Chain A
Amino acid sequence: MNEQDEIVVSAKDLTPCKMVNESDDIVISVKDLSIGYGERVILEKVNFQVKRGEVFVILGESGCGKSTLMKTMIGLYPPQSGEVWIEGGNLVAAQGDDRLRLLRKFGVMYQSGALFGSMNVLENVRLPLDEFTELPEPLKELVSLAKLKLVGLGNAANKMPSELSGGMQKRAAIARAMVMDPGILFLDEPSAGLDPITSAGIDLLISGLSHHFGITFVIVSHELASIYAVADRVIMVDCQTRGIVAQGKPAELRDSATDPWVHRFFNREADASHSVEPA
């Protein structure tokens, strides 16, 4: 595994301070990216950058292509055109070993957790260590258990995914995503379908990991409460314009967005056409 793939936890320097934007270090750069299915274009010529250590949220209404954008960024879907640069490598053009090297720079948590149902939680988490490292067995177990403890699942290692609640599955998926110490974590709808307490717990976990480990987060979400709690910066994608309609800090967009749709979104105001009141 490449050294650059890992989180740097310095024994000398680590103090609980967030490593955001100190040197404008860009870790992800999306250039003129167009995505869609077949002939259908969902987003066209999108450009944005993610800085090292920041919690970056992609948001927008349901069906506007947030998850598709994320899945294109992580190389699952080929873009119609454009480039995705991760830690200095173009994932869209990378092939073979270069692509594998780039893939190991990030971890992904899918909306459903996507834990393998035939393995218990510990086996799920340690799978990347088994496949990609030559670590001795006791160390693999220790690393996996430590990651599980970090996400608050220290006593769930022996459980099967079907025995976990939705929130626990997402936590286990985060542990698996970070077991190889990637510098970037992509999370698809981490709070979707969770109760407010569990959802707040996930937010706290994201903030903690970002704060203590300097992990860069790219999160797809439309949960406003979570966005306000964790996001350093957001971009908002829109179906109509097929592009980014707003970007900045969430509180600023809430208070000073000029676009009426963005203003309604951040202030959770319904469209008048959805009212059932008689006109």
Chain B
Amino acid sequence: METLPPKPQTECESNVQLGPDGLARVVLKGRLSTRTVVDCWRSLELALRDAHVKTLEVDVSGVDFCGGAGFALLRYLNMGRMTQGAKVTVVGLAAGFQTLFEGFTAQDYDAFHPQPQKSSHPLVEDAGHATRQLLTDLRDQVDFLGGVAANLPPSLINPKRMRWPEVRHVFELAGANAVPIVSLVSLLLGFIIAFESAQRLAEFGAQIYVANTITVVMVREMGPLMTAILLAGRSASAFAAEIGTMKVNEELNALETLGLSPIRFLVVPRLMAGVMVAPLLTCYSILMGVVGGALVMLGLGFSLRLILHQMALSVHLSDLTVGMEKAVVFGIIVSGIGCWRGLQTEQGPSAVGLSTTRAVVTSLLLIIVADACFSTISYFLK
């Protein structure tokens, strides 16, 4: 039998002896730990892979330490994975270790089949899946709207049924706490619109109309829209996360079994707070936007009196009405969608995150759709 020189390991020694007629013997000595097994594996693979071994004997009587990785190496050799088609025996195992070694067999390994990667869905299947999801969403929306329709009027008719402390709490979170971000965004928006329009209007010597532009744009469009977008980012996501977490923790089930409607208990107060907070924040946003624009105009050399005069001339009550109508509708969309997506939360660790994302995306989408409807209707009604 030809003996290859033993490959010294740090703490594990593997000796491969190749004989005639595909006979081979592997002698393992020392410690088979997670670290030493790596080198041992490499040297064994190098020696055995192309050796055309038919019968392999693995002698482990010299092994005095065997961790999980060592055990795996022995099983791997025993399964003939390094010596395709060879008959492999492992000898020198102590009785106790033999029992453990036989506890995980080649059959156990073969029984494990990795799940095949999901193939990409064909177009028709994708379309069907999307349609079904859309219909499920629609049905859920109708259910939700029905629930709101059934629970909101009684709470409005009988104010004692309304959970006012909850309304106040949500009002504070969604409204008062949003004031700093609304201030900053609206002020900067006023700056941006004023500077952009001032550049263009200067070409016509009509920079004074920056005041008109900023007022109309903020009152009719940007005030309600930016407020709604900020509310969607802050409050719709918060409502979805809060209600979603309650659903995952079975708090909604507890409400149901206590005889309390989750819609009356959780959705109506949030809807109420959303409807109240959106117009107020919108008013504040318009004010800050106009202030931003006025500051730019002051910088351009116009007097405050002239700026205010132009602003007062440019905006009518109908503009403010449109702005407030939009704010109320956006408030309903943001709070309603936030709660609805929260109620849709399924089980699982990523469910709440998914609901939160959906709440923001759906809110933004519906806000833009509603805004487009408002613009179209107001154009034709004019």
Residue positions of A touching B, CB distance < 8 A: 1, 3, 6-16, 117-118, 120, 122, 129, 133-136, 138-139, 141-143, 145-147, 149-150, 154-155, 157-158, 162, 179-181, 212
Report the bound CA distance from A121 to B17 in whole Å: 39
How distant is B251 from chain A, measured CB to nearest CB, in Å?
18
Contact across chains for B76 and A138 when beta carbons are under 8 A apart: yes
Interface pair A135/B69, CB less than 8 Å apart: yes
Between A12, A15, A141, the greatest number of chain B beta carbons within 10 A of the residue's beta carbon is seen for A12
| A1-B72 contact, Cβ under 8 Å, with A11-B97, A14-B97, A117-B349 | no
| Interface stretch (choices B31-39, B135-143, B300-308, B332-340) | B31-39
Question: Quick check: is B317 within 8 A (CB to CB) of the other chain?
Answer: no
In-complex Cβ contact of A139 among B35, B69, B92, B99 (8 A): B69
A6 touches B67 (CB 8 A): yes
Verify A146–B72 contact, CB threshold 8 A. yes
- If the complex has contacts A14-B96, A15-B96, are A135 and B103 also in contact, measured as CB distance less than 8 A? no
Docked-complex contact A181 and B68, CB < 8 angstroms: yes
On whether the beta carbons of A142 and B109 are closer than 8 Å, the reply is yes
Residue ranges of B at the interface with A (Cβ–Cβ < 8 Å): 11, 31, 33-35, 37-38, 41, 60-61, 63-69, 71-73, 75-76, 81, 92-97, 99-100, 103-104, 108-109, 111-115, 347-350
Asked if residues A155 and B111 are in contact (CB atoms below 8 Å), the reply is yes
Please indicate the chain B residues that have their CB under 8 angstroms from the CB of A141 in the complex: 112
Q: Pick from A9, A122, A134: contact of B38, CB below 8 A.
A: A134
Q: Is the CB of A3 within 8 A of B76?
A: no
| A179 to B72 CA separation, bound complex (whole angstroms) | 12
Shortest distance from the beta carbon of A125 to any chain B beta carbon, whole Å: 11
Decide: B76 and A12 in contact? CB cutoff 8 A: no
Q: Report chain A residues within 8 Å CB of B103.
A: 146, 149-150
Q: Is the CB of A136 within 8 A of B115?
A: no
Give complex CA distance A122, B109 in Å.
13
Give 15 CB contacts A-B under 8 Å: A6-B34, A11-B63, A13-B96, A14-B94, A14-B97, A14-B100, A15-B95, A134-B38, A135-B38, A141-B112, A146-B72, A154-B111, A158-B113, A162-B348, A181-B34
A118 pairs with B97, CB closer than 8 A:
no
Q: A142 with B34: in contact, given A117-B349, A149-B103, A158-B114 (CB under 8 Å)?
A: no
Taking a contact as CB atoms under 8 Å apart, the answer to whether A147 and B68 are in contact is yes
Q: Name the contact of B69 in the complex, choosing from A14, A133, A150 (C-beta under 8 A).
A: A133
Judge whether B34 and A133 touch: CB under 8 Å.
Answer: yes
Asked whether A181 and B67 contact (CB < 8 A) given A1-B33, A11-B61, the answer is yes
Chain A residues with Cβ under 8 A from B35's Cβ? Answer: 1, 3, 133
B-chain residues with CB within 8 Å of residue A15 when the two chains form the complex: 94-96
Task: Take A9-B67, A11-B61, A145-B112 as given contacts and tell me if A3 and B33 are in contact as well, using a CB distance cutoff of 8 Å.
Answer: yes
Q: How far is the CA of A167 from the CA of B193 in the complex (A)?
A: 61
A185 to B183, CA, bound (A): 54
Q: Which residues of B contact A16 (CB under 8 A)?
A: 96, 99
Q: A139-B37, A154-B112 are in contact. List 10 more A-B contacts (CB 8 A).
A: A9-B67, A11-B66, A129-B34, A133-B69, A135-B37, A142-B76, A146-B71, A149-B103, A154-B111, A181-B67
Is B33 a contact of A139 with CB atoms below 8 Å? no
Is there an interface contact between B71 and A9, defined as CB atoms closer than 8 Å?
Answer: yes
In the complex the two chains form, is B108's CB within 8 Å of A10's CB? Answer: no
Query: CB-CB < 8 A to A179: which residues of B?
Result: 68
Question: In the complex, what distance in Å separates the CA atom of A13 from the CA atom of B104?
Answer: 20
Q: Which residue of A lies closest to B42 (CB)?
A: A136
B108 and A149 contact, CB distance less than 8 A: yes
Contact between B34 and A1, CB atoms less than 8 A apart: yes
Closest A residue, CB atoms, query B65: A8
- Which residue of chain B is the closest to A17 with respect to CB atoms? B96
Chain A residue with Cβ nearest B349: A117
Chain A nearest Cβ from B42, distance in angstroms: 8
Q: How far is the CA of A117 from the CA of B349 in the complex (A)?
A: 6
3 nearest A-B residue pairs (beta carbon):
A117-B349, A14-B96, A142-B72
Residues of B within 8 A of A135 (CB): 34, 37-38, 41, 69, 72
| Chain A residues with CB under 8 A of B73 | 139
Question: Residue of B at shortest CB range from A138?
Answer: B76
A11 touches B64 (CB 8 A): yes
A10:B94 contact, CB within 8 angstroms: yes
* Other-chain contact of B100, A3, A9, A157, A181 (Cβ < 8 Å): A9
**Distance from A153 Cβ to chain B, minimum over Cβ atoms (Å):** 11
Q: Of all chain B residues, which has the CB nearest A162?
A: B348
Knowing A1-B35, A12-B64, A212-B100 touch, does A146 contact B112 (C-beta < 8 A)? Answer: no
Residues in chain B near residue A157, CB distance under 8 A: 112
B77 to chain A, nearest CB (A): 11
Question: Given the interface contacts A117-B348, A162-B348, does A7 sit within 8 Å of B104 by beta carbon?
Answer: no
Complex Cα–Cα for A142 and B93 (A): 19
In the complex, A11→B96 CA distance in Å?
8
